[in-house]
Structure 1
Amino acid sequence: MDPEAPAAASPPASAPAPRPAKCRRSPKPPSVLLSKAGVTALLGLATLYTLLPLTWLLLSSTKSREDLFGTNGFALGDEIHLAENLDQLFAADGGVYLRWVINTVEYAGIGALLASLFSVAAGYAFDKLAFPGKERLFSLVLLGVMVPGTAMAIPLYLLAAEAGVVNTFWSVFVPGLVFPFGVYLARVFSAAYVPDEVLEAARMDGAGEFKTFCRIALPMMAPGFVTIFLFQFTQIWNSFFLPLVMLSDKELYPVNLGLYVWYSSALSQGHPEDYLLAVVGSLVSVVPLIVVFLMLQRFWKSGMTAGAVK
């Protein structure tokens, strides 16, 4: 073979076979419950579930006793008797309903205020201070969150009996000062609202721990304080089982227990007028909760978003 001859052209390399095009799957449509229409429908059902009992309560409170039992629950009576029903409510049994309202304000208002202050102080300590066994102690607090209040009623009654305070104001007031869920929330709020650098600057200026908490941390945690107050206020205001176990004196009853007594009297002792009193009293008992939430909603809304944005 002539070395000068050009080398034979090698056969071209075979081109790689084209890959089959991936089958593009069309995105799955969102489920019915997660679609916009589904979410709107669920919210609408939740709104109806919330407003229908209140609507029935409002309409029933405007009826006479005859119309209450003789007309549809969501229909108006022949005449509006709301003013007369309110007069009867506050005059019944020597005006005991007003005494029940005052008791409930004392249990829920003062109790929730002190419970919120204790919870904020404890949550701040768990978040910012270092002391032995801190996390183990906080685990006990979380354990208290998981225990329902009704399960603690009988043990609390036995403790109150040992202390000799059964059937007194303190037997209902003191348990309301303990709010484990508020301590947990306060720790979250402390981490979100109180920077460590500000506390260090205060300590370098000579402020003690108590003064640092009162002058710096507590004002910063004001939205959290109000949020915890609303939670505990609502919980104490709606409390029923603990007063039922602790109290036998009618003058010490909160509103819920007093209304239950009237309702039971209407069913078991044949006093239909007590049924109307229980209905009107239930409507009046809702008003303070609505007023408190409307007054504090600005702080409550800001407190609910604590830690959402870093």
Structure 2
Amino acid sequence: MTTATPTPSATAPRRSPAPRLRSTRGRRPGGTRPRRSVLLTVLTSLVLLYSLVPLAWLVINATKTQGDLFSSFGLWFGSSFALLTNIGDTLTYDDGIFVRWFLNTVLYVVLGAGGATLLAVLGGYGLAKFQFPGKRGVFAVVIGAVAVPGTALAVPTFLMFSQMGLTNTPWSVIIPSLISPFGLYLMWTFAAEAIPTELMEAARIDGASEARTFAQVCLPLLAPGIVTVLLFTMVATWNNYFLPLIMLKDPDWYPLTLGLNAWNAQAATAGGEAIFNLVITGSVLTIVPLVVAFLFLQRYWQSGLAAGSVKE
């Protein structure tokens, strides 16, 4: 007599289908959707419009000829598309002086903004991770320096550099750009939160010197803050106008800001040539490197601004 073996389908309990997980995107922890503020949406749209309209005007008018600038609507294209012609004329006008101004600006940014970032990183790291007498006094000086606008120091700086014989030279623009109190303060606060003291002590116990601890342990942790400070100092140096205005007399050492202003002022001088189309096209070419830098370093910049905002 044989006994029938029950099949697994007859004995196994029936499994109910797995419940679908509902998306919680856009929901609060309690399950309710966040309330949308119409006022906040309208204000954000107005700020976005306020920011994009001047940029759109600049790009659109860079495609116009000198005559179309005054005969067509500002936020629409002219009768002919002259962007490539304007770019070529901008780069070759007055023996290519625009290219010289561009290279001058790059020089000021590399040495000035790069040096300011380096000094801010070293100073911020030292102030954040080392104890020494007078640290509170240094903190007060840094905070006070942040509150002082750069234009207030331009005239005393000019008088000092004039006594040293450095005016009308690139050093009169580069050396003042090396000091960034805001960058120093930002790196100070960032290093205090981003670098655990225990990690530095572990590296010292393993026999690492202070220089090796900084270069191999702390510097990678400071990368987001370094990029953030670099962006701020780079934009400040790239757009610097007042300091080169009082320091430089030779047009060959002008940055882009000063050079484009000199082109714009030509129309008001006796016998001067109006080249407003070249001024607008040069302005477009001036902002392109900044836009590229922000797009390329955006993820580092965002992480640098958000660092330390969440407490574990």
Shorter chain as denominator, the TM-score bin is: 0.7 to 0.9
Matched position secondary structure for 2:207: coil
Q: Which residue of 1 aligns with 2:21?
A: none
**Cα distance between partner residues in 2 of 1:132 and 1:269:** 62
**Cα distance between partner residues in 1 of 2:292 and 2:255:** 18
Letter aligned with residue 71 of structure 1: S
Q: Taking structure 1 as reference, are residues 57 and 168 closer, same or farther at Cα in structure 2, changes over 3 Å only?
A: same
Letter aligned with residue 77 of structure 2: L
**Cα distance between partner residues in 2 of 1:127 and 1:291:** 32
Residue 187 (structure 1) shift: 1.1
Q: Which residue of 2 aligns with 1:123?
A: 124
- Taking only aligned residues, the RMSD between alpha carbons, in angstroms, comes to 1.4
**Cα distance between partner residues in 2 of 1:168 and 1:254:** 12
Moved over 4 A (4+): none
Question: What TM-score do you get using the length of structure 1 for normalisation?
Answer: 0.87
Q: Which residue of 1 aligns with 2:165?
A: 164
**Cα distance between partner residues in 2 of 1:273 and 1:82:** 18
**How many percent of aligned residue pairs carry the same amino acid?**
44
Q: Which residue of 1 aligns with 2:134?
A: 133
Residue 175 (structure 1) shift: 0.8
Deviations 1:43-71 (A, max 9, x none): 11111111111111111110011101111
**Cα distance between partner residues in 2 of 1:255 and 1:111:** 15
Q: Which residue of 1 aligns with 2:289?
A: 288
Deviations 1:181-210 (A, max 9, x none): 011100111122100000111122222322
**Cα distance between partner residues in 1 of 2:87 and 2:214:** 46
Q: Which residue of 2 aligns with 1:235?
A: 236
Q: Which residue of 1 aligns with 2:76?
A: 75
1:110-259 pair list within 5 angstroms: 110-259=111-260
Contact 2:105/2:255 (8 A) holds in 1? yes
Residue 274 (structure 1) shift: 2.1
**Cα distance between partner residues in 1 of 2:205 and 2:136:** 27
Residue 221 (structure 1) shift: 0.3
Letter aligned with residue 60 of structure 2: L
Question: What TM-score do you get using the length of structure 2 for normalisation?
Answer: 0.86
Letter aligned with residue 92 of structure 1: Y
Q: Taking structure 1 as reference, are residues 97 and 83 closer, same or farther at Cα in structure 2, changes over 3 Å only?
A: same
- Structure 2 unmatched ranges of 5 or more: 1-34
**Cα distance between partner residues in 1 of 2:141 and 2:211:** 24
Matched position secondary structure for 2:274: helix
Residue 272 (structure 1) shift: 5.1
Deviations 1:163-186 (A, max 9, x none): 110000100011111100011100
Aligned residues: 277
- Structure 1 unmatched ranges of 5 or more: 1-33
